[in-house]
Structure 1
Amino acid sequence: MTRVNLITGFLGSGKTTLLRHLLAGKPEQENWAILVNEFGEIGIDGALLRQQGAVLKEIPGGCMCCVNGLPMQVGLNMLLKQSRPDRLLIEPTGLGHPRQLLDMLSAPVYHASLQLNATLTLLDARQLADPRVTANENFRDQLAAADVIIANKRDRWDDGDRQRLQQWQDATLHGRLLIATQFGAIDPALLDLPRTNTQALPQPAHHHSHRREENPLAALRLEGQTRWRRAVNQGQGYVACGWVFDGDTLFDSEALLAWARLASVERIKGVLRTPAGSIRLNGQNGEVHVEALAAVPPDSRIELIHSQPVDWNRLQSQLLKIRLN
């Protein structure tokens, strides 16, 4: 029987960082698997999680529930058949709705193979001050579906954020567990809590437009002598644009950071190679952080997400100029 947890949370709430924390403490004798879905086509989260000691399956380009859940079902069935994991952690896109996933995972066909445990939903208290986020249907329903709320990034909150979080907790939680933390550091024992929140969720409005790849279960790859490619995806009122560069391409890290900070988009993330080593870019609303990575990725990837039209060609031209070779 595979123990399953859904790890949800809106854009920038820290889902991938939390998964990396959990994987770092994985018991050696257990076989874990990760099913990760990203809004864009590039596959940044998969690049970060690939060498973390778990079997990884990526479903890029929107939400797992599209096309009547076929990509999700195929990916899930492949993992269960090929890897037979003791534990499966599912990370949907921050713009995804949890209803279809929870319905699918609790369907009779999986009763003999899956034990659906608590859903953990990440919340950055600063999001409660953004009316556009709080009005988002998926943001509200992710929190409504949670068994446990992980109030993440507390090191970046101010007094107003803490007050809004307390007001939201008093009005909304009704006995559900809320844990405040930073850097996604949680007790792994939370994964074994039972699923107790079975309230009915509304049917989500579906507004996706996906660029179909030949293989919908693999993030964008380069072929032949191609040095780089761009992919654009849109839906749920957001647009994502991402680039993947071959393994021989190196970037000027200082120029790359300046470019990321001036991009003026709501979400930016990347795993890139520089002369000094590999780095992770992680940005939200102009606040960009850089982290050195021990593992060397096979290529460089960067993705931007925004809710307004963006001149992707201008940003692309600037990005190409800071390549070192």
Structure 2
Amino acid sequence: MKDVYLFSGFLGSGKTSMLTYVLQQLKEKGLKPAVIMNELGKLPFDSQAVDEEIPLKEMLEGCICCSGAEKTEAQIQSLLADSQFDVLIIETTGAAHPVEALDAVYSPLFADQLNIKGIVTVADSKLWLDRETLPPQVRSLFLEQIRHAHLLLANKMDLLSEKEQAKVVYELQAVNPNAFILQTTNGKVPLHLLEELQATARASSENVKSAKIGKQLQLSSRLVELDNSFTQEEFEKWIQSLPSTVYRIKGYVPIEGVRNPFLFQYAYGLVQWLPEYIKMPAKIVMIGENIQEIDIESLSRN
């Protein structure tokens, strides 16, 4: 039997950081992991966090819980047939309803080969405190991801005061009284907490109404190639001009005077720049509502 974990969490919550940390612990323990990553974008940026020797399946431009369910089944079948692994981790897109996503993993074709351990949800603690600013459908999804977790990470605690930290934990516990809540920074969760999980989501999933996330949230992605270089200030000024319906931007941005493009991440007003030591393609993926209507021309320099 292969243990399976489903990593859930809203856009920019820290799922990939958690994934990287868990993979490191599995390898140190002598266990062989495999990964299925589901992204809305056309470029597999997050998958670059996975070492080459780890079996990896990517599902781009699709949702693991909707039309992508059959693809998920095919990917799992492929892994079971072609790869040697002990643990399977499925990282869903931030737009995935966790129970629907978990249901997509169940199949009579390989049910006897998989032990579904549970849903691990990463919640952005700062975003939780600001959740009333989110559109109603987005806020509803945020709550659903928290409500259905078996293990809940209250992430980005380093950004909050002690009073705010206590408030987040108290309120998350009220939404999901059954999950163990761990306060984290950078998604650092001890492996033993995952190993102690025993999923009960299969029984409860029958009572969950399909969220039809793609239609309700109108989430989409857009790939933008960057032909110019920028200063960090110029690029961040453009970011600040974007509407609140842009939830996530990630990619590689060429910076003036720097040889290689920087890894850039944006989520809900928070910006992160990380230097790269190899030349990556100068492209970004934007994720949000009605993303095709965003004015990209203003990004071009005169």
- TM-score, normalised to structure 1, is 0.77
Tell me which residue corresponds to 1:110: 110
- Label 1:281 to 1:91 Cα distance change in 2 as closer, same or farther (>3 A): same
- Label 1:111 to 1:36 Cα distance change in 2 as closer, same or farther (>3 A): same
Structure with the bigger percentage of helix = 2
Tell me by how many angstroms 1:11 deviates: 1.4
Please report the RMSD computed on the Cα atoms of aligned residues, expressed in angstroms.
3.0
C-alpha contact (below 8 Å) 2:33/2:85 kept by paired residues: yes
Residues in 1 aligned to 2:148 and 2:281: alpha-carbon distance in whole angstroms:
36
Tell me by how many angstroms 1:202 deviates: 1.2
Tell me which residue corresponds to 1:33: 34
Please give the per-residue CA displacement for 1:243-269, whole angstroms capped at 9, x wherever unaligned: 357xxx784453445544444533211
C-alpha contact (below 8 Å) 1:69/1:100 kept by paired residues: no
Which stretch shifts more, 33-42 or 7-16? 33-42
Tell me which residue corresponds to 1:231: none
Q: Supply the AA of the counterpart residue of 1:299.
A: P
C-alpha contact (below 8 Å) 1:271/1:297 kept by paired residues: no
5+ residue gaps, structure 2, are none
Residues in 2 aligned to 1:169 and 1:311: alpha-carbon distance in whole angstroms:
35
Q: Supply the AA of the counterpart residue of 1:303.
A: V
Residues in 2 aligned to 1:61 and 1:152: alpha-carbon distance in whole angstroms:
26
Tell me which residue corresponds to 2:259: 276
- Label 1:52 to 1:273 Cα distance change in 2 as closer, same or farther (>3 A): farther
Does 1:85 pair with 2:65? no
Residues in 1 aligned to 2:73 and 2:175: alpha-carbon distance in whole angstroms:
32
Does 1:76 pair with 2:76? yes
Does 1:182 pair with 2:176? no
Query: How many residue pairs end up in the alignment?
Result: 290
Does 1:202 pair with 2:184? no
5+ residue gaps, structure 1, are 210-234
- Label 1:270 to 1:309 Cα distance change in 2 as closer, same or farther (>3 A): closer
Residues in 2 aligned to 1:282 and 1:192: alpha-carbon distance in whole angstroms:
30
Which stretch shifts more, 199-208 or 8-17? 199-208
Three-state SS of the structure 2 residue aligned to 1:67 is coil
Residues in 2 aligned to 1:122 and 1:258: alpha-carbon distance in whole angstroms:
29
- Label 1:283 to 1:76 Cα distance change in 2 as closer, same or farther (>3 A): same
- TM-score, normalised to structure 2, is 0.82
Counting only pairs closer than 5 Å after superposition, residues 39-54 of structure 1 correspond to structure 2 as 39-46=40-47, 48-51=48-51, 53-54=53-54
- Label 1:244 to 1:50 Cα distance change in 2 as closer, same or farther (>3 A): farther
